[in-house]
């Protein structure tokens, strides 16, 4: 009998397995697909690899601004895809190596009792079960995906499966040619990343969002700024969009990015009486489901759908099962990163939320046009915005749109976690010329 059986080898399940190994537990990891889940195979890693390649192309197109003359620039999408596949393959090998000592079972799984799981035609037993099955793209009833929506990943051969007209983010990652024109439906994180990526690579991009602003979950100043930047880059932005009247025939591809749904079909949850909340697995503050020895972590819980938060949940779930020191999985100082060009990142409280709860705040901003390093690398679009509690001076939230935003946000996450004040961070010395000194300059304003 295993101490722990984990269903789902994504970032939640993988990190849970590592923690179980550290505790000396007998653990198995079960997944019907390759190791790494959405993050490695369909999400974070492939998208950011493609975006990194597009960034190089973007810089090359601006090389004359740096006194460098380049001719005959072109995008070799096949070579870019090969690089992406290589990155996935190498990281998958590293993950497999780190799991040495844990059993990996490649098979669909069905929970048939609180201690039994059917896999690969047999039954395995475990004292505890962790469900970490992740999520999948949602399709609209009127815009069903007509491509291949169940890609099989072969790390040795890569994947080159093009969808037809209406595709999900999965197919978008595997295109063998850049669409001449692309309609992105959904102006959230995924939609904005793909709109930015394909625009850089040469597609004529339109992004349609039903809400009044792109990135509805982000700070309004950030949303307005990225819309302005997108338009400058030639991306057509349609907000308040009605999908039913969009003229799909005008586009080579239609990419639907309207959210994600949990991967829970076929797990047998209904037979076990495991409670759901809006179709997501309901868990308590300790990540326990309605069954005492079955926990859940990651996207399938419908909490913050970020890989790093899934990893945090996976580790916390294992600790709450076995360590004897139960702790609430309630750390909400979670940086959110969006890899558009320029990048976007945020952490802590948004200005609108602080004002809605009656909190007295100070808001400080710094424009990257005043940054020496931004001028040096010719990337001056964007700003830093930091929110502090007016009474205590503690930093409680921040948003950044601009160069290296996804790296800079870590400093502010540390400041919020450590309950540091504006004066305390302002008293620190930041190197010059760097992007990080922009945080210091923000706090001086």
Structure tokens at 53: 């390649």
Based on the residue annotation, tell me whether 308 is a catalytic residue of this protein.
no
130 and 31 belong to one structural domain? yes
**pLDDT tens digits in sequence order for the chain, 445 residues long:** 999 999 999 999 999 999 999 999 999 999 999 899 999 999 999 999 999 999 999 999 999 999 999 999 999 999 999 999 999 999 999 999 999 999 999 999 999 999 999 999 999 999 999 999 999 999 888 888 885 433 333 344 443 334 489 999 999 999 999 999 999 999 999 999 999 999 999 999 999 999 999 999 999 999 999 999 999 999 999 999 998 888 999 999 999 999 999 999 999 999 999 999 999 999 999 999 999 999 999 999 999 999 999 999 999 999 999 988 899 999 999 999 999 999 999 999 999 999 888 889 999 999 999 999 999 999 999 999 999 999 999 999 999 999 999 999 999 999 999 999 999 999 999 999 999 999 999 998 6
CA 15 – CA 17 distance, rounded (Å): 5
Q: What pLDDT score does 29 carry?
A: 97
Helix residue ranges, H only, 235-284: 269-272
Picking from 258, 279, 311, the residue at the C-terminal end of a domain is 258
Q: What pLDDT score does 156 carry?
A: 42
Find out whether 46 and 172 touch, Cβ atoms under 8 Å: no
* CATH number of the domain within which 211 lies: 3.50.50.60
316 and 391 belong to one structural domain? no
- Choose, from 177, 326, 432, 433, the residue flagged as catalytic: 432
* CATH number of the domain within which 427 lies: 3.30.390.30
**Residue 83 placed within a domain:** yes
79 and 11 belong to one structural domain? yes
Q: Parallel, antiparallel, or unpaired: how do β-strands 2-7 and 109-113 relate?
A: unpaired
Short-list 345, 295, 337, CA closest to 315: 295
Q: What pLDDT score does 437 carry?
A: 96
User: Residue 387 sits in which domain range?
Assistant: 342-444
- Tell me the DSSP string of 42-109: TSHHHHHHHHHHHHHHHHHHTGGGGT----S----HHHHHHHHHHHHHHHHHHHHHHTTTSEEEES-E
Q: What pLDDT score does 147 carry?
A: 55
**Residue 109 placed within a domain:** yes
Picking from 227, 258, 289, the residue at the C-terminal end of a domain is 258
Q: How many domains does the chain have?
A: 3
**Would you say the C-alpha torsion 153, 155, 192, 346 has a positive or negative sign?**
positive
Q: What pLDDT score does 357 carry?
A: 87
286 and 251 belong to one structural domain? no
Picking from 271, 289, 322, the residue at the C-terminal end of a domain is 322
14 and 46 belong to one structural domain? yes
**Residue 153 placed within a domain:** no
298 and 430 belong to one structural domain? no
Q: What pLDDT score does 244 carry?
A: 85
193 and 207 belong to one structural domain? yes
271 and 131 belong to one structural domain? yes
CA 240 – CA 435 distance, rounded (Å): 35
129 and 273 belong to one structural domain? yes
346 and 417 belong to one structural domain? yes
Q: What pLDDT score does 150 carry?
A: 36
96 and 178 belong to one structural domain? no
């Amino acid at each position: 009998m295993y101490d722990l059986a984990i269903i789902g080898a994504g970032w939640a399940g993988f990190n849970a397995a590592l923690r179980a190994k550290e505790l000396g537990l007998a653990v198995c990891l079960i997944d019907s697909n390759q190791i790494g889940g959405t993050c490695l195979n369909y999400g974070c890693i492939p998208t950011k690899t493609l975006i990194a390649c597009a960034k190089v192309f973007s810089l090359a197109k601006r090389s004359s601004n740096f006194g460098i003359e380049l001719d005959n620039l072109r995008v070799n999408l096949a070579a870019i895809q090969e690089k992406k596949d290589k990155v996935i393959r190498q990281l998958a090998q590293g993950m497999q190596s780190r799991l040495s000592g844990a059993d990996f079972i490649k098979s669909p799984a069905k929970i048939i009792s609180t201690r039994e799981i059917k896999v690969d035609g047999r039954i395995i037993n475990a004292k505890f079960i962790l469900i970490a099955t992740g999520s999948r793209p949602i399709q609209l009833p009127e815009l069903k995906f007509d491509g291949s929506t169940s890609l099989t990943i072969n790390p040795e051969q890569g994947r080159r499966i093009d969808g037809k007209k209406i595709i999900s983010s999965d197919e978008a990652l595997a295109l063998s040619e850049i669409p001449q024109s692309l309609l992105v439906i959904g102006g959230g994180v995924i939609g904005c990343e793909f709109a930015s990526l394909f625009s850089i690579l040469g597609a004529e991009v339109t992004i349609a969002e039903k809400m009044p602003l792109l990135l509805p979950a982000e700070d309004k100043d950030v949303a307005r700024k990225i819309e302005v930047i997108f338009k400058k880059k030639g991306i057509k932005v349609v907000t308040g969009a009605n999908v039913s009247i969009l003229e799909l025939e005008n586009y080579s591809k239609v990419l639907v990015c309207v959210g994600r749904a949990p991967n829970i079909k076929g797990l047998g949850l209904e037979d076990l009486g495991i409670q759901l909340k809006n179709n997501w697995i309901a868990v308590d503050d300790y990540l326990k489901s309605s069954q005492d020895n079955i926990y859940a972590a990651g996207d399938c819980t419908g909490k913050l759908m970020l890989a790093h938060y899934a990893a945090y949940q996976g580790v916390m779930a294992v600790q709450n099962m076995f360590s004897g020191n139960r702790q609430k999985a309630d750390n909400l100082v979670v940086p959110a990163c969006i890899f558009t060009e320029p990048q976007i990142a945020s952490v802590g409280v948004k200005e609108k939320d602080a004002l809605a709860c009656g909190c007295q705040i100070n808001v400080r901003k710094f424009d990257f046009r005043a940054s020496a390093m931004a001028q040096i690398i010719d990337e001056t679009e964007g700003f830093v915005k930091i929110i502090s509690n007016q009474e205590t001076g503690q930093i409680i939230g921040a948003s950044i749109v601009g160069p290296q935003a996804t790296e800079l946000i870590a400093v502010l996450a540390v400041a919020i976690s450590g309950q540091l004040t504006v004066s305390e961070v302002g008293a620190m010395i930041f190197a010059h010329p760097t992007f990080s000194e922009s945080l210091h300059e923000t706090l001086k304003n």
